[in-house]
Amino acid sequence: MGDYKYTLSEDRIPKHWYNIAADLPEPLAPVLHPGTGQPIGPDDLAPLFPMACIMQEVTQEREIEIPEPVREVYRLWRPAPLYRARRLEQVLDTPARIYYKYEGVSPSGSHKPNTAVAQAFYNKEEGVKKLSTETGAGQWGSSLAFAGNLFGLEVNVFMVKVSFEQKPYRRALMETYGARCVASPSMETESGKAILAEHPDSTGSLGIAISEAVEVAAKNDDTKYSLGSVLNHVLLHQTIIGQEAMEQMEMAGDDPDIVIGCAGGGSNFAGLAFPFLGQQMRGGKKRQVIAVEPAACPTLTRGTFAYDFGDTAHLTPLVKMHTLGSTFIPSGIHAGGLRYHGMSPLVSHLVALGLVEAVAYHQTGCFDAGVQFARAEGIVPAPESTHAVKAAVDQALKCKAEGTSKTILFNLSGHGHFDMQAYTDYFAGKLKDEDYDHAALDAAMADLPQVAAE
């Protein structure tokens, strides 16, 4: 059968994160203060984030050193393995070579601890006692719960209500790591109360949960806010994925023509793709780079590239990104981690520059691919990750139709062991391919803030 698994020794865990800002042909648009419309400075963000993370938001340095205590924790599961999906290739009868980087080997089962550990470390260093955050499907909440516990921080998680009800085991995992988890919208914040007054049956959204978590951090001196995706420093922390994958592709004697990741806020996609894109922008090989999103929340493919708020209650600064409007609430599809109205400014910028392409898929097609993958490769993908699997399968079938042999690399961002209800629903034929609500999208887009600087 030939080689199919590429592992690196612990001393190959990268010593630096890769900062793509150093290689961009055009800089990112500045982050704006929602009141003044002027670019914000580090001090404006100080109530919410530790200074180390704020400086990582804006630095132009290409390599950022990973603190040794963070690498020490990474050793629990890193370097993550890279696999060649030989059995899937056989099933598809494709001339393409398919590889995947598997991030499901982390304690919480996804890529998210890569940044959770770094953020917990920097907060601890700066004397913070408590972290406040939101979670969609529960992946981020459980990752921060794990990391916060290691560094002795109290963690409070606002979990989107639909997931809180669908995924009780994720909540149990957060509690196992010692975190506190409440359903959002909640009665614990002004933002939550305002939503509930208007929509008592609200199933919540990431935008609402972010408002609640930000509010708690803004009102408490000993508490900072922690975000699991979207921001530059979060994407930065994920670049160890792509750096390891580059070395492993070399071990395999191969080089990807196509690089794929699913995109909710953009962090696992960026983590794999940015080191490859950086190489390309510095004169290296040109690759096809694809971000995959759900058709029910089509931020990159149907959204507008404009300044918007990161949350529903408009407590965050304005960032320029692809957005469906901060009041847009996507339908309750199972890939909860992909249900965000916005997209990371860095990924949005790269799409606008034509360096990254975006596709959107309906969920049943993604589960078809996820089940096909599980039966061939043994790993059950998280519902979010099935979007990347589907794109890889489609590209491999395209190679077959065209009679071309390409090398495809995708990020398997996590396993689906806590999401088996989604698979049960899929097998029972209960999954619906909901499109987004066109009227709701129009209404949310009409609410976009007016920004003079544009």
Ligand X SMILES: *Cc1c(COP(=O)(O)O)cnc(C)c1O
Cα(309)–Cα(428) distance, rounded to whole angstroms?
38
The contact pattern for ligand X, residues 396-435, with x = CB under 6 A and - = no contact, is -----------------xx---------------------
Residue 242, interface with ligand X (CB under 6 A)? Answer: no
Main-chain dihedrals φ then ψ at residue 224, nearest 5 degrees: -120, 165
Residue 322, interface with ligand X (CB under 6 A)? Answer: no
Residue 232, interface with ligand X (CB under 6 A)? Answer: no
Residue 207, interface with ligand X (CB under 6 A)? Answer: no
Bridge pairing between strands 82-84 and 154-160: unpaired
Residue type, 414: G
- Contact segment (CB under 6 A) with ligand X among 154-162, 211-219, 262-270, 430-438 equals 262-270
Residue 1 has a CB neighbour count (10 Å cut-off) of 7
Residue type, 29: A
Main-chain dihedrals φ then ψ at residue 100, nearest 5 degrees: -140, 140
According to CB under 6 A, which one of 356, 382, 392, 444 is a site residue for ligand X?
382
Residue 266, interface with ligand X (CB under 6 A)? Answer: yes
Residue 345, interface with ligand X (CB under 6 A)? Answer: no
Instruction: Give least dist CB 140 to ligand X, A.
Output: 6
- Contact segment (CB under 6 A) with ligand X among 24-32, 151-159, 377-385, 393-401 equals 377-385
Binding-site size, ligand X (CB under 6 A): 20
Residue 338, interface with ligand X (CB under 6 A)? Answer: yes
Q: Give residue for tokens 């887009």.
A: 445
Residue 265, interface with ligand X (CB under 6 A)? Answer: yes
Instruction: Give least dist CB 433 to ligand X, A.
Output: 20
Q: How many CA atoms lie within 13 A of 46 on its CB side?
A: 5
According to CB under 6 A, which one of 19, 110, 132, 184 is a site residue for ligand X?
110
Structure tokens at 125: 């260093």
- Please enumerate in sequence order all residues whose Cβ is within 8 A of that of 119, keeping only pairs 6 or more positions apart, or say none: 50, 53, 131, 144, 147, 226, 234, 237
Q: Among residues 252 and 431, whose Cβ is nearest to ligand X?
A: 431
Instruction: Give least dist CB 135 to ligand X, A.
Output: 9
Q: Is 75 left (phi over 0), alpha (psi -120 to 50) or beta?
A: alpha
Residue 310, interface with ligand X (CB under 6 A)? Answer: no
**DSSP H helix total and E strand total for the chain:** 19, 15
According to CB under 6 A, which one of 71, 97, 101, 112 is a site residue for ligand X?
112
What part of residues 61-80 is at the interface with ligand X (CB under 6 A)? Answer: none
Instruction: Give least dist CB 239 to ligand X, A.
Output: 13
Question: Three-class SS of residue 195?
Answer: helix
Residue 160, interface with ligand X (CB under 6 A)? Answer: no
Cα(448)–Cα(318) distance, rounded to whole angstroms?
10
Cα(159)–Cα(156) distance, rounded to whole angstroms?
10
Q: Among residues 352 and 451, whose Cβ is nearest to ligand X?
A: 352
DSSP state of 415: B
For binding to ligand X (CB under 6 A), which residues are involved?
Answer: 110, 112, 139-140, 229, 262-269, 337-338, 382, 384-385, 413-414
